[in-house]
Structure 1
Amino acid sequence: MTLKRVPAIFFRTEAGNEPVRDWLKALDQVDRRRIGEDIKLAEYGWPIGMPTCRPMGEGLHEIRSRISNGRIARALFYIDAMQRMVLLHAFIKKSQATPAEDLRLARTNKRKHEQGLT
Structure 2
Amino acid sequence: MSREELAARQAELLAALVAAGPAPEGVDPARVALEADALRAKRRRALARLVPVDVHERLGAELGPRLDAWITAHPRREGTSMHADADAFVAALRAGGVLPRPRRGWAPRVPAWRPRWR
Q: Where is the helix percentage greater, Structure 1 or Structure 2? A: 2
TM-score bracket, normalised by the shorter chain, equals: 0.3 to 0.5
TM-score (norm 2): 0.35
Q: Could you tell me the TM-score, scaled by structure 1's length? A: 0.35
Higher-Rg structure is: 2
